[in-house]
Amino acid sequence: MSESEFERSKDTQKGSDNAAEAAAEATVGAAEAAVETGGAAEPAAGDSGEAAIATGLKKPITRRTVVAAAGGTIAGLVIGGFLGSWGVTSSSIASGKVAILATPQKLIVTDRRRCSGCQRCEMMCSLRNDGHVSQLTSRVKVSRNYYFGKSVDGPDGTYHNMEWVVESCKQCQDPWCAKYCPVHAIVSDENSGARIVDKQACIGCGMCHAACPWNMPTIDPVIGKSTKCIACGRCAEQCPNSAILFVDWEDIATKVIESDEVSTARLVAQ
C-alpha cells in the first residue's frame, strides 16, 4: 500500500487509535503476503451469483472485487471499519485477539476471546471429513495451544487467561506443503479455491506435514493419506461461541456499500 492510499484508508476510521492502526496494518499486511493475493484460485464466476443478486449487484462478488474496492488490501477493510460487525477492528487485530484469513470464497475470522477450548470444532471437523471423531486428523487445531497460549514464551499459556488460539490451514500463496510433495498431491479446488489433498495421488509420506511451518497437514493413520483443511466451514457452524466465523464476501460488500465510502457502481466496476 502506498503512503497516499494508507492515508485515505486511515481517514475512514474516525476516532481510531493511530498506533493501533499502524500495528494492525503491519499484522494484516504480513498475512496478506501469505494468503490474500493469489495462492488459491478465485472460484468460478457463477459460484456467487445468487448472493450477488441478493445484494442488488448483477456481477458476482469475489474476494478480489471487495478488496479492490476497499483500496486494494485487506488492511483497507480493517482500517476502514468495514469488518467491525464481525469483531475485526484495528485494535483487536493489533492485540492478537482476532485473526483473519482471506480465501476466495470467505473471510475466516477467529476470535480467541470467544474460544472456550471445548474442542467441538475439532470433533465436528473430523466427523464431517473422516466419519469419526479424531483430534489427530482434525483440520482445525485448538487443543495443542492449551499450554502455550499465543506463543511458547508468552505469559498467557498453561490456562493463565483461558484464551486459546484457533489454528487452521493458512492457504498460503506459495505453500510449502505443495512445494515439497513428491507426487504433487496438493492442489487448488476448482470450486472453493482451497488447497486440498488429492487422495488418489497422495502416498502418505508426511513431507507436507514436515514442510508446513504450522504442521497443519496430518497423516491419517487409518487410511495412510494426508489430510488438511478444505474450508468447508463445519467448524464455524458448530462453534457454540462463534469463535470461528466464515463470512461471505457478499456480506462484506454490503457493509462497504452501506458505509457510503464506496458506491455500488465502483464495486461492480472492479
Instruction: Give burial (CB, 10 Å; 0-12/13-18/19+) of 252.
Output: buried
CA distance 77 to 216: 27
CA distance 41 to 62: 11
Chain position carrying cell 485477539: 97
Q: How many CB atoms lie within 10 A of CB 13?
A: 20
The reported pLDDT for the residue numbered 75 is 79
CA distance 258 to 15: 19
Chain position carrying cell 459460484: 47
Give the end-to-end CA distance of the chain in Å, rounded to a whole number: 18
Q: Which backbone phi and psi does 151 adopt, to 5 degrees?
A: -155, 160
For CA atoms 84, 85, 88, 92, the dihedral sign is positive
Q: Is 85 helix (H, G, I), strand (E, B) or coil?
A: helix
Provide the residue ranges of all domains of the chain, joining segments of one domain with +. 3-112+242-269, 115-241
Q: Mind listing the pLDDT tens digit of every residue in the chain (270 residues)? A: 555 544 444 454 444 444 444 444 444 454 444 334 334 545 444 444 444 434 444 456 667 777 766 666 777 788 888 888 898 988 888 888 898 888 878 889 999 889 988 999 999 999 999 888 988 999 999 887 777 666 666 677 666 777 788 888 988 888 999 999 999 999 988 877 788 999 999 999 999 999 999 999 999 999 999 999 988 899 999 999 999 999 988 888 888 877 666 545 455 455
Q: How many CB atoms lie within 10 A of CB 132?
A: 10
Task: Please state whether beta strands 225-227 and 218-220 pair in parallel, antiparallel, or not at all (unpaired).
Answer: antiparallel
In the DSSP assignment, the letter for residue 203 is -
In the DSSP assignment, the letter for residue 167 is B
Task: Give the domain 115-241 fold.
Answer: Alpha-Beta Plaits (3.30.70)
CA distance 218 to 216: 6
Q: How many CB atoms lie within 10 A of CB 201?
A: 13
